[in-house]
Each structure stands twice: as C-alpha cells, then as structure tokens.
Structure 1
Amino acid sequence: MIDWLDEVLPPVFPATSKALNEPNGLLAAGGRVSPLWADSAYRKGIFPWNDPGEARLWWSPAPRAVITAESFRLPRTVRKLLRREQLSISCNLAFDSVIQACAQPRDYESGTWICDEIIDCYGRLQRAGRAFSVECWDTDGVLCGGFYGLTIGSAVFGESMFSRRSNASKLAFATAAPILFAAGVTLIDCQMKTEHLGQFGLIELERKAFEGILQQATTQPLQLILPGWLA
C-alpha cells in the first residue's frame, strides 16, 4: 500500500525507502504538480508520472539511471552525425513548443503523461530560470526535435524528448550535455535506463549512492546560464 498525498497540504513525501519493488519505484499517489511540489520532490529523487486519466503518481525507482560529469562520453558515431547533419541547436528559444511536442501521443501509445498541469508547472519554472529546453531546427527553420528539463543546484533532471526527424533529440542532447557539464553541472538524472541515452555514459546507481550524489548536487550553488544558440 502507498500513501495518499493531500494536495491542499504542503508537499511532504514518504521516505523513498518505502517505494515498491513492483512496480519499481512507486511511492505515493495524489498531491499536485506545482513549482513547490516539483522542487520538493526532485530534491529527494522523486518525480511524477502517470497515464492519462490516472491519479497523480510519484516514483523513486532503484537503481537510478544517471549520467555524471565523470561518466559522460560522446560516441564516435554521434560525433560523425553532428558533423554530417545540417541542424541548428538552441536553448530556451521555444520552450512552450518543445513541451507541447513532448506532450503529443507517440506512435506506440495513445496518451501522454504530460498534462496541462505539468505544462503549466514547467512553464512557470522556465520563466523563473529553473527549467530549460533544447531545440533542434532543420535547414528550413522548422523545429524537428529537442528535450526539456529542470535544474536544481548542479543537478539536471531530464524530463522528456521528442523527434520529428531521425536522431534529432539525440543530437540535441549530444550538443547540450558537454555544455552543461562544462558550465558546472555534475549530474543528469535520466530516471530509467534507455538505449537512447545509454550510449552517452549512463550508469545505474543504487538508491543510497544516488541520493548521496543527489543531495550534494542539489545543495551546490550553480547559476546555470546557457547561450541562446548552442550550435
């Protein structure tokens, strides 16, 4: 059994050690998604995710998939793609368009977890300088891919990606990640392991190790200022 969170009360989450093993990481239900709730959750390694029409669900899976400044690598195949593909990469020039694109149903699923509440929350965080987007543009100036995420201290929490052209989100990440790490980011939380991000040096950490690194990163002051155009 998991705890039910009252949305009219301040955000107080159960200890992550109470997360279920099956489904992996399910911790609590209820509550709401707002900048305050998001900040409180992510600092503890907790994030919201649920199918359309479900109650709000909160997760803290273990092991946790992350990319650190030490583990990050840029594969040779991706380097070749960056040189070959004539794409432009920007930051925070089309945040609303990116999150709306990420919210669109995928070919393999009928709905999306990115509801109006999520869009409103992250839009407010972006305007406050706490969330960001990375955009990929084709030669006609059409948005063809990208991703968005949240920053707390020197930690970046990747939220969602989309591609309307092969490799677009991959190249957006491959361009942005080295810039993020060079700017002082120490941890990119990917939540769960995927083949897409695995090639960039993704590692899996057990809960105690992840939460130790997370606490250090989120309490490390970092004013992350990214240029409008990355490439």
Structure 2
Amino acid sequence: MSEKNPEVPREVSLKVLVDDIPSVEGVVPAHGLSILVEASLDREKKRILFDTGPSKKILEYNVGVLGEHTRVDIIVGSIHLSHHIGCIDEYAERTIILRPPLPLRYKDGTRLEEIRFLPGFYLVKTSSPWGEQGLLIPTEKGYILLAGCSVHGFKETFGWLFSSNLRIFGVVGGLGVSSRDMYNLGFLKRLSKKGVELIFPLHSVSLEARRKLMKLNRFPVDFEVPGEGSEISI
C-alpha cells in the first residue's frame, strides 16, 4: 500500500448498468456486468466504469434508461471474458482503459497495485489462471471491493484480501455463488460477522443466493434482490 495519505472521497455511489437480472423496469438484462462508480472528491468527481457488459448497444441503452452517460475517466476490466469486456475497445479512444492480464499470463501472485492517477484506488491482482482483477474503492467507512466474476469462487479468488490489515467495508459484484455453494456462502457469512457491513451480490450469483446474502447486510440498501438498475451511496 502507498505511504501517502490520499484523499478519501466524501461520497461514493455505485450504479449497476448491466447485470443478469433487472431491478428496475425498462432496462435490458444481459449475462455480464457493468458498474458505474462516482467518487466525489473535494475538488472534482471521478467516474469509473467497472466492466462494460457484452455489448455497447446494451450498455448505451441501459445508460439512457437510467439517466446516465458513458463519459468516464477510467474503464477497469475485470476478466478477459466477452460478457465483461465485450465492448471495451469501443471506448479506448476517449478514456483510459485498465485491462486485466491475459489468461495464463499473470504469474506474480496476489497483490495490490495503486492506480497512479487515482491515489488510494487499487487494482486487486489475483492468482487466478484467468488473470481476474478486482477494484478497491476507498470510502470513509473503509474499502469497497468490486469483483467481476469470481470465476474460481469468491474465497479462492479474493479470500486472501481479507487476511490483510485492510478495513474492507463492502463487497459488490460477481461473487460466483449459488444457493448450494455452502463453501463460499459460509465464507461470506463469516466476513459479515467479522465486520464486512455491505454484501451486494450481482453477476454470477443465483437469485436465491442473492436473497440469502442480502440478509447479511448491516448497511441499509433499497433492494431486496439487487440487479440491473440498483444503486448504492456511501
């Protein structure tokens, strides 16, 4: 971690632009994920797009329905799968792209990599053969981990992060969990008991598992089952 004391956003909002299931009327659900992050700093607001979903057409349509736009400072790709970064190249000329490592190419083990033009924000490099990466977002309550797919299971992919000395306030995104996955459900329940206040399951989490995990929340959220169109403000 950096020895600097970067500015912590006074407010962070997350809006789900693409997901497997809808939470509001009018959007088009699609297998995949895209989350818009807005971080309000003292002098400016930074906008980050975490994944793009499978197609620009779906992303742009949902953005319009949700009253948003795709002018962002950075796009972070979580994993080299088409339903996560299917249209990332179509935005390359107008924004900074932070791509995940290619499958079977990342061999440095797990680590955190600070985003140099966003002090305090970190890419979470995992040891997954897929080269999956997450995003750590600082808030006044602690860090929020954005996960894209957890293709090898959440504990296997990101569990090491919770053995560090970081204060993880929330986990949002693709957690790779079904209602019968007692191993990962149990791990997430233990995280809740140890102080993770927000668990917001999206892509690659079954409907019933989403319901179970939402019951663990101590941070107030407006959606019984989160999905496309759902929002969080911290």
TM-score bracket for the superposition, by shorter chain length: 0.3 to 0.5
TM-score (norm 1): 0.38
Structure with greater helix share of residues: 1
TM-score (norm 2): 0.38
Q: Which has the higher contact order (CA 8 A, sep 6+)?
A: 1
